[in-house]
Amino acid sequence: MINAKRLEENFRKLAMIGAQADGGITRLAFSDEDWEAHAIILELMEQAGLDVRVDAFGNLIGRREGFDPNAPAVMVGSHIDSVPCGGNFDGVAGVLAAIEVIQCLMANRIKTYHPIEVVVFMAEESSRFGMATLGSKAFCGKLSPEQLEQYTDKQGMTLAEAMRQRGLAPEKIGLAQYPYPIKVFLELHIEQGKVLETMGKQIGIVTGIAAPTRLRVVVSGQADHSGATPMNMRQDALTAAAEIILQVEQLAGREGHNGTVGTTGIIKAEPGVMNVIPGRVELGIDIRGISETSKQQVVQSLFKEIAEIQNRRGVQTEITILADEKPVEISREIVEFLHDIAKQQKSSCMLLPSGAGHDAMHMAAIAPTGMIFVPCKGGISHNPAEWASIEDIAAGTGLLFEAVVKLAAE
């Protein structure tokens, strides 16, 4: 029933938008490329018979009416923005799978009691404005006008300004909050990890979604001449920062059995010249996990270690908590529901947690939520080499279709 060729053609259309000469795809949130891709998705949604509207943050919502227009909607979707030089499957797979489900319902003249809505969330990636899953946050009422003015890109443009460029009114962001009950939200996504491929499974049913605590740590020492300053008289901000980086690795490693990981992804050293001892270093640290207790254990231990490093090395440190989100445990009922369908379809499947964050983690706060994973080659994502087979995506879409039909039936 799933039309794999149609899916493949739609992936091809999206792959052309933001394609880079040296490989990969760049569709940063609210960019021209992002907006062009949204126009293509809007056209596909209308071709599938959906009535499409745009909310106050730019999220696309396509509705297929049910026998009872007042019944809670069954909602499916994901995002289409990308990281710089990313792939064409992260997020896109979930959006195109959702549209394919609607296409199959229309082709087979299947009517449902509940309305079905396809949602395309804006700005899921943090690449442009430094914060992730902004569209689903707005959708769930978690984004304020003040935050829109605070978040900026590398050129200094605020999120509010980017919205105005697209004809949106930041001061009306509250209107983006979805005002109606939702029966269930489902998101299909590539795994962005190696588990399914390694285990030889075609389908993953997600049991929980990891969430990050993100920190900006600024280490301030003393910039001095590299030749004239003895080793025992230095206040080297970079060597202090190096110790902090190693502590992130070691502390997260101790909690690795609980699924917690730690990454230092940003290092900015100043003044950044060969013959000057670094006087200031800024670190961007991401600690995430599926266990809130384990994650907080790493965060609190890191704070203590940073204080010890500061005292021992004679530097100053400033810690800013950029985000502190709670991991999401997927409803056991939804997990079992999706798992049962997969078994009925004789799909090769397994249960697994998601190490990456997704729009679904915010939707879980307002509706029963489920996620379906399909493998990606080598576990590679956020990379030009990101790739998933149409066969696997079609299998996941088949599971999504059966789930939507059953959930929307009554």
Q: List the binding residues for allantoate.
A: 214, 275, 288
Bridge pairing between strands 369-374 and 182-190: parallel
Choose among 64, 41, 178: nearest CA to 111: 64
Strand partners, 283: 217, 267
Residue 72: is the preceding peptide bond cis (ω within 30°)?
no
Q: Which tokens belong to 323?
A: 């985000």
CA-atom Rg of the chain in angstroms: 23
Measured CA to CA, the distance from residue 116 to residue 405 in angstroms comes to 10
Beta strands in 89-231 (DSSP E): 116-121, 182-190, 203-209, 211-220
Q: Is 178 strand, coil or helix?
A: coil
Give binding residues for Zn(2+) as ranges: 79, 90, 125, 189, 382
To which residue do tokens 């399914």 refer? 196
Length of the chain as a residue count: 410
CA dist 171 → 34, 35, 103, 144, 216 (Å): 22, 21, 36, 9, 28
Cα(41)–Cα(93) distance, rounded to whole angstroms? 12
Q: Residue 108 and residue 114: Cα distance in Å, rounded? A: 17
Residues in binding site: 79, 90, 125, 189, 214, 275, 288, 382
Q: Assign 186 to helix, strand or coil.
A: strand
Cα–Cα distance, 286 to 284 (Å, whole number)? 7
Residue 100 CA to chain centroid, in angstroms? 22
Distances (CA, A) of 128 to 31, 166, 170, 268: 9, 16, 17, 18
Helix, coil or strand: residue 354: strand
| DSSP calls for 46-75 | HHTT-EEEE-TT--EEEEE--SSTTSPEEE
